Amino acid sequence: MSNYRTSQVFARLADAELGNYTQNIITKLTGNENFPKPLVSVVDLTKALDTFTTALAAAAQGGKLVTAAKNAAREVLLGLLRQQAAYVQSLAGDDLPMLLSSGFEAVNTNRTQVPLSKPVIDEIRNDMSTQLGVRVQPVPTARAYEVRLSYGTSGWQAAGIFTQARGILLENLTPGTIYTVQTRAIGGSTGYSDWSDPVSHMAM
């Protein structure tokens, strides 16, 4: 029996983050030799994402009809993602690197607790002024991720605990300042993993 399965965490994401999550899957599956014939084609998934993104922008103006259209487009997109997740699971089995190469996150179905591996920061990006978005490679069995940062000659400062490896947002930062970021996973048999290697990025 496989110890891993594709996570359905995307169903709980906020609208904007769902769009980012889906785009990452489209990017990771395009030309991915591990998954040569996706159950849902990249073209169809892209069309569903475009429809959802357009409906989301329209719903920002308010109104019951446009909100209902956005919700309907979201459900269509979620349905396609669930099909794609099942396809990825059927091929990846217990091959965690292969599963993660699809862009989906993984859930460890083995209830035996094990020490947590050290997280890896994939990306730090400037989402908006005074904010940094941090994407971390998901750690199996981790329940959450603790983040700390430093800048200049300051020491490490706690930046919060986040439940989504791909949805970490650091706010109220000073534009033009270079911040160094580390994260560690929470959970497993040891409680905490080692801190990740530090990554630096300038806030805008």
Please identify which residue in the block is written with the tokens 């169809």.
44
Please name each of the domains of the chain with its CATH number.
4-108 (no CATH), 121-202 (2.60.40.10)
pLDDT tens digit sequence for 146-180: 999 999 888 999 998 888 898 899 999 999 999 99
Asked if 185 contacts 193 with a C-beta cutoff of 8 angstroms, the reply is yes
Closest CA to 79 of 35, 48, 51, 55: 48
pLDDT tens digit sequence for 43-96: 999 999 999 999 999 998 888 999 999 999 999 999 999 999 999 999 998 788
Q: What is the predicted pLDDT for the residue at 30?
A: 95
Q: Please, what's the b/e burial string for 52-77 (b: 16 or more CB within 10 A of its CB; e: otherwise)?
A: bbebbebbeeeeeebbebbeebbeeb
Question: Per-residue pLDDT for 112 more than 60?
Answer: no
